[in-house]
Structure 1
Amino acid sequence: MQDEPEVAVLRYGHRPGRDDRMTTHVGLTARALGADRVVFPDNAGQSQETVEDITGRFGGPFEVELTDALNATIRNWEGTVVHLTMYGERVQDVEGEIREAHREEPLLVVVGGEKVPFEVYEGADWNVGVTNQPHSEVAGLAVFLDRLFDGRELEREWEDADRQVIPMATGKKVVDPDEES
């Protein structure tokens, strides 16, 4: 979010063919709910293209990167690292501390795909559970970002959008924001 340290989301692991949709949705959720960028594994190029396309059409700023160094990204992060896992501390118990840390330094949110190695748990400043029940990593990311930003991300304005969705009780309306006055 503007005027705050960066929030980046790292998708840890990607199985082509199996995880394409989920990895893409991690990126779209990160973008829509206030993160500044997402980092995908280097074999998730299709997800990168999709998220960049959505950003181009619906506005930014938002960056998408690929890396072959997932562990190094965590290890070398200069800021706070939060790993979302159903085995972590309850989000409602640690969200205030994380929000306070984020006021001072960048935040990396690690979202697992396949089985996450123990070194990710050890490398995180916080291992955080959004419920301690099995659920989608996309749902966990959405709840976490909403808690981090206290709902402010829902009021975000998008720059350089080719399309803008107009909220309606029923129906669908998408306009060119340059033509809407």
Structure 2
Amino acid sequence: DLWGGSFYVKRITNWMKEIRKWKESSGKVLHLTMYGVNLPDVINDIVTDNLLVVVGAEKVPPELYALADWNVAVGNQPHSEVAALAIVLDRLAASSGIEPLKSQFSGGEVEIVPKTRGKEVREK
């Protein structure tokens, strides 16, 4: 991959089949929902190896709550799903001892060179 790292996003049509398949392969499921328990209360219990993060939206079927290993909220108020995902990924990385804003992805073909002005991308 161009940028490296193991993170990926996948949009699926049969979510239940995908989640069951993930769990059958010993994966864990974290469902982001404003109705879940607050992230700080469970952050140390969440296993980050083989973790599937499902971002909820309006009208989430009850089956998803049952299938998830964790139903987690980033605050119990309406909020941006993208912002919630960013916060959860940041907190999970930090709880694993990683400083996400300073880390570099492994295996990429290019990398960004930090600049105060302009932009630079160089090949590795």
| TM-score over 0.5 for the pair | yes
List runs of 5+ in structure 1 lacking aligned partners.
Answer: 1-54
Question: Whole-Å Cα distance in 2 between the matches of residues 144 and 114 of structure 1?
Answer: 19
Larger RCO, structure (CA 8 Å, separation 6 or more): 2
Identity rate, percent: 47
Structure 2 residue corresponding to 1:84, chosen from 21, 25, 32 = 32
Instruction: Deviation per CA, 1:53-111: give whole Å up to 9, x if none.
Output: xx53x33455555543211122232222110001110000000011xx33xx5211111
List runs of 5+ in structure 2 lacking aligned partners.
Answer: none
SS state of the match for residue 176, structure 1? strand
Question: Whole-Å Cα distance in 1 between the matches of residues 91 and 61 of structure 2?
Answer: 26
SS state of the match for residue 120, structure 1? helix
TM-score with structure 2 length normalisation? 0.77
Corresponding residue pairs, total: 117
**In 2, are the aligned partners of 1:61 and 1:159 still within 8 Å (CA)?**
no
Matching of residue 120 in structure 1 with residue 59 in structure 2: no
Question: Whole-Å Cα distance in 1 between the matches of residues 67 and 92 of structure 2?
Answer: 20
SS state of the match for residue 89, structure 2? helix
Matching of residue 94 in structure 1 with residue 38 in structure 2: no
SS state of the match for residue 53, structure 2? strand
Question: Whole-Å Cα distance in 2 between the matches of residues 137 and 66 of structure 1?
Answer: 14
1:176 is matched with which residue? Answer: 122
Instruction: Deviation per CA, 1:105-128: give whole Å up to 9, x if none.
Output: 521111124421111011111110
**In 2, are the aligned partners of 1:74 and 1:81 still within 8 Å (CA)?**
yes
Question: Whole-Å Cα distance in 2 between the matches of residues 81 and 61 of structure 1?
Answer: 17
Q: CA RMSD in A?
A: 2.3
Deviation at 1:144, TM superposition (A): 0.6
